[in-house]
């Protein structure tokens, strides 16, 4: 092993082009492939951005450089300084003739995965060796797109006048009733990991008016599905002086903006993922009421009693009928959390929506109740104790504006953009019932 010393990368591998012919460069990365032809060694060096061929001919490079090249194996970490040479037969018509090599670290074989391998390993093997998996272009592409998605969400919402906030993840009471919480011990007291920033973001509308948060939430999901994890990143938004319609409008424009940005900034990644067919969805997205959706399902042979949630087989069927993005609005009040506003003229139905993409729910939202008495009534109707919401309810005495908002699952959005089936592909280190490491 040798120190990095004063060597710094001058170029990413992808920046080494024939135009640099004759220039001395320093590249850093991993030994992607190595071919030893006796008096000539070829290394394919890989960094985050791609690969470049390093050529080490015995009679043209210093003796110690040639000796070092001979010792290398796949995934060793190296830095190479040498001269760029235009060479038609090399990949990208360019190679680097190594003058000096620094071996920065050696691997300990065998490696559980081969990033240069053409055979796809199964998901568990890949997740168990996620760091190596991320060296594969297909995996990295998803997370580069994730980065652009996050960046474009922040950009869009900032331009719309929203302020990014961070709310506590260790909380004293359940947000939405007793579902699926992780208890934590907090200096001898019982606390929980937050399942949503719902109550905090609502309270914040009474001061900051328009807020959003991008952060982790925790749900003790019992079942292993391809769309549920126990730790997920939610994009949450809440807006004062607005209704469900207003925030649906923001959401669909946000989604179109994100797609537009990904399409223009991630063409390389979309190609790697065979997703060049990605289209920016036209707005407004179709809207169907819950009752209309039940009728649609009935026409296709699925009978669901009014008031019930849509079970997975019904969602699957819906995905066959309705492709792409759409909203399901006006859900039964009973099927939604206590803070969702019932319609004034028909309280059985609520001012709520789910944002869907085919069969997959991407977001839920609605107009919230801002009247304290009604909120207490709804809490009780849902079997919750207003006492445990004391701190939250107090804020409703301090001038709570009418407000509305939504929560969007980041990884589910990524599933749609990247066209992958399992949410675990879209989270670096996914947490499910059986997976707590790595
Ligand atoms: P589902 O019905 O799919 O279980 P939900 O209605 O319980 O979701 P919400 O409370 O509405 O979920 O959360 C808002 C969004 O967060 C969902 O629309 C979804 O995109 C995402 N989401 C919810 N639960 C999970 C989870 N366990 N794993 C990943 N994403 C989730
Ligand atoms: Mn939901």
CB 23, CB 84: distance < 8 Å: yes
β-strands 210-218, 163-164 pairing = parallel
| pLDDT of the residue at 179 | 64
**Mean pLDDT rounded to a whole number for the chain:** 96
Say if residues 144 and 418 touch (Cβ distance below 8 Å): no
DSSP class of 248: H
pLDDT tens for 160-198 read 999 999 999 999 976 666 568 999 999 999 999 999 999
pLDDT band at 397 (very low <50, low <70, confident <90, very high): very high
pLDDT of residue 120: 76
Residue 368, SS3?
strand
**Average pLDDT in the 329-345 region?**
97
Confidence of residue 416 (pLDDT cuts 50, 70, 90): very high
Which residue is closest in CA terms to ligand 1's atom 2? Answer: 361
Q: Which residues pair with 24 in a beta bridge?
A: 83
| 394 carries an active-site annotation | no
Q: Which residue lies with its CA nearest to atom 17 of ligand 1?
A: 363
Ordered domains of the chain (ranges, CATH): 13-105 (2.40.50.140), 132-426 (3.30.930.10)
Ligand 2 centroid from CA 205, angstroms: 21
Residues 91-118 have pLDDT tens digits of: 999 999 999 999 999 999 999 999 987 6
Q: Give 333 Cα–ligand 2 centroid separation in angstroms.
A: 13
CB atoms within 10 A of CB 283: 13
> pLDDT class for 26, splitting at 50, 70, 90?
very high
CA distance 351 to 342: 6
pTM of the model: 0.97
Is 219 known to be catalytic? yes
Per residue in 127-159, pLDDT tens? Answer: 999 999 999 999 999 999 999 999 999 999 999
In DSSP terms, 342 is beta-bridged to: 350
pLDDT of residue 160: 98
Q: Measuring from atom 18 of ligand 1, which residue has the nearest CA?
A: 363
CA of residue 126 to ligand 2 center, whole Å: 30
d(CA 259, CA 265): 10
Query: Ligand 1 in contact with 219 (CB < 6 A)?
Result: yes
> What is the distance in A from the centroid of ligand 1 to the CA of 71?
51
DSSP 102-167: EEEE---SPPSS-TT-SSPPPHHHHHHTHHHHTTSHHHHHHHHHHHHHHHHHHHHHHHTT-EE---
- Phi/psi of residue 69, each to 5°? -55, -40
Active site residue 435: no
Q: Is 361 in the pocket of ligand 1 (CB under 6 A)?
A: yes
Taking CA atoms only, the protein residue closest to ligand 1 atom 22 is: 409
Query: Which atom of ligand 1 lies closest to the CA of 221?
Result: 27
- Whether 119 has a pLDDT exceeding 80, the answer reads no
222/229 Cα distance (integer angstroms) = 10
CB of 171 closer than 6 angstroms to any ligand 1 atom: no
CB 176 less than 6 A from any atom of ligand 1: no
Percentage with pLDDT > 90 across the chain: 95
Quote the ligand 2 centre to 342 CA distance (angstroms).
Answer: 16
Q: Please indicate whether residue 279 is annotated as part of the active site.
A: no
Please tell me the distance from the alpha carbon of residue 210 to that of residue 241, in angstroms, as a whole number: 9
Would you call 412 a catalytic residue per the annotation?
Answer: yes
Q: Contact at 8 Å (CB) between 96 and 22?
A: no
CA nearest ligand 1 atom 4, residue: 228
267 is known as an active-site residue:
no
CB distance 405 to ligand 1 below 6 Å: no
Tell how many helices (H) and how many strands (E) occur in the chain.
12, 16
Beta bridge partners of 166: none
- Please give the pLDDT value at position 177: 60
- The catalytic residue among 11, 135, 219, 378 is 219
pLDDT digit string, tens, across residues 42-88: 999 999 999 999 999 999 999 999 999 999 999 999 999 999 999 99
The string of pLDDT tens digits covering residues 227-282 is 999 999 999 999 999 999 999 999 999 999 999 999 999 999 999 999 999 999 99
Q: What is the pLDDT of residue 359?
A: 98
Across 21-29, average pLDDT: 98
Q: Is the CB of 240 under 6 A from ligand 1?
A: no
- pLDDT, average across residues 378-389: 94
**Ligand 1 centroid vs 44 CA: distance in angstroms?**
43
Look at ligand 1, atom 3, and give the residue with the nearest C-alpha.
361
pLDDT at residue number 178: 53
Q: Are 104 and 120 contacting, i.e. CB atoms less than 8 angstroms apart?
A: no
In DSSP terms, 56 is beta-bridged to 41
**Does the Cβ of 363 fall within 6 Å of ligand 1?**
yes
For residue 364, the ligand 1 atom closest to its alpha carbon is: 11
Over residues 307-327, the pLDDT tens digits come to 999 999 999 999 999 999 999
Can you tell me the mean pLDDT for 401-411?
Answer: 98
Q: How far is the CA of 46 from the centre of ligand 2 (A)?
A: 42
Is 232 touching ligand 1 by the criterion CB < 6 Å?
Answer: yes
Q: Which atom of ligand 1 is nearest to the CA of 361?
A: 18
Known catalytic membership, residue 221: yes
Catalytic residue among 412, 424, 425, 431: 412
Q: What atom of ligand 1 comes closest to residue 309's alpha carbon?
A: 2
The per-residue pLDDT for 117 is 77
For residue 297, report the phi and psi dihedrals to the nearest 5 degrees: -65, -40
Give the C-alpha distances (Å, rounded to integers) separating 176 from 170, 173, 194, 229: 15, 9, 10, 18
Strand 210-218: give its sheet, edge to edge: 163-164, 210-218, 231-240, 403-409, 360-367, 352-357, 325-329, 287-289
């Amino acid at each position: 092993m040798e120190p990095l010393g004063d060597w710094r990368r001058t170029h990413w591998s992808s920046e080494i082009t024939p135009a640099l012919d004759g220039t001395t460069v320093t590249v850093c990365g991993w030994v992607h492939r190595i071919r030893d032809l006796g008096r000539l060694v070829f290394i394919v060096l890989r960094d985050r951005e791609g690969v470049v061929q390093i050529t080490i001919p015995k009679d043209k490079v210093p003796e110690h450089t040639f000796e070092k090249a001979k010792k290398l194996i796949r995934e060793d970490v190296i830095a190479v300084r040498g001269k760029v040479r235009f060479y038609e037969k090399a990949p990208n018509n360019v190679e680097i003739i190594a003058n000096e090599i620094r071996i920065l670290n050696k691997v300990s074989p065998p490696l559980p995965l081969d990033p240069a391998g053409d055979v796809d390993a199964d998901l568990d093997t890949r997740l168990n060796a996620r760091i190596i998996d991320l060296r594969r272009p297909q995996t990295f592409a998803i997370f580069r797109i994730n980065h652009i998605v996050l960046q474009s969400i922040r950009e869009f919402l900032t331009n719309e006048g929203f302020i990014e906030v961070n709310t506590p993840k260790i909380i004293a009471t359940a947000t939405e009733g007793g579902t699926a919480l992780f208890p934590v011990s907090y200096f001898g007291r019982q606390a929980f990991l937050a399942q949503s920033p719902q109550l905090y973001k609502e309270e914040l509308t009474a001061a900051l008016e328009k807020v959003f948060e991008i952060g982790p939430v925790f749900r003790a999901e019992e079942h292993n599905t391809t769309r549920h994890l126990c730790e997920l990143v939610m994009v949450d938004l809440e807006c004062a002086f607005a209704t469900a319609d207003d925030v649906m409008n923001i959401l669909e424009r946000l989604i179109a903006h994100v797609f537009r940005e990904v399409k223009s900034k991630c063409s390389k990644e979309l190609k790697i993922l065979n997703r060049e067919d990605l289209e920016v969805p036209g707005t407004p997205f179709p809207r169907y009421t819950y009752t209309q959706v039940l009728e649609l399902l009935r026409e296709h042979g699925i009978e669901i009693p009014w008031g019930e949630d849509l079970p997975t087989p019904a969602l699957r069927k819906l995905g066959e009928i309705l492709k792409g993005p759409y909203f399901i609005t006006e859900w039964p009040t009973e099927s939604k959390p206590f803070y969702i506003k019932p319609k004034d003229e028909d309280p059985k139905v609520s001012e709520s929506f789910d944002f869907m993409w085919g069969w997959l729910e991407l977001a839920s939202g609605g107009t919230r109740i801002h009247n304290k008495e009604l909120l207490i009534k709804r809490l009780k109707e849902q079997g919750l104790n207003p006492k445990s919401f004391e701190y939250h309810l107090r804020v409703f005495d301090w001038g709570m504006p009418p407000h509305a908002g939504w929560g969007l699952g980041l990884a589910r959005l990524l599933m749609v953009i990247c066209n992958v089936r399992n949410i675990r592909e879209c989270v670096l280190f996914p947490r499910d019932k059986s997976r707590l490491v790595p």
